[in-house]
Amino acid sequence: MVKKVTKYGLAAAVTVMVPAFLFSDPALAISWGKRQPDGMVCRELLGKPHDHDGHGHGKTQSEALASAIRRWHWFTSFEYGKRWSDWGIARRKTAKCSIGRRGWKCEVEGQPCRH
């Protein structure tokens, strides 16, 4: 037999779940920071480096690369916060660029880190 959820039971569940969702760090459920030998803290997932990527397009290679880095920064900031989104201190960085009929396309990848 299925029991009805009372309005009080639903209200209690919402009262508990909404603040936990809004005020917790959702990134901690996905990955965590691990302190490196040099003092940096970098994101890991299941004990392996957790890299993010970014894709960009532009008329020139430098425009496409800058666009890809901005997208990497935006997504990393969205997922983990601004402290993690500095491309300059990211680890394991790679960039691949190519030219096509519509201009340049670049893809970057790097492990988010913070001081």
Model confidence pLDDT, tens digit, residues 29-63: 467 888 888 888 999 988 888 899 999 999 999 99
Integer angstrom CA distances of residue 40 from 34, 35, 100, 112? 8, 6, 38, 10
Q: List pLDDT tens digits, range 93-111.
A: 999 999 999 999 999 999 9
d(C-alpha 36, C-alpha 39), whole Å: 5
- Decide if 79 is inside a domain: yes
Sign of CA dihedral 29, 30, 34, 39: negative
pLDDT at 27: 44
Whether residue 71 is contained in a domain is answered as yes
- pLDDT at position 25 is 47
For residue 74, tell me if it sits in a domain. Answer: yes
In this structure, is residue 20 part of a structural domain? no
Contact between 72 and 88 (Cβ < 8 Å): no
| pLDDT tens per residue, range 12-35 | 444 444 444 444 444 444 678 888
Q: Identify the domain containing residue 36 by its residue range.
A: 27-114
Q: Is 98 part of any domain?
A: yes
pTM for the model stands at 0.70
Whether 17 maps to a domain, the answer reads no
How many independent structural domains does the chain possess? 1
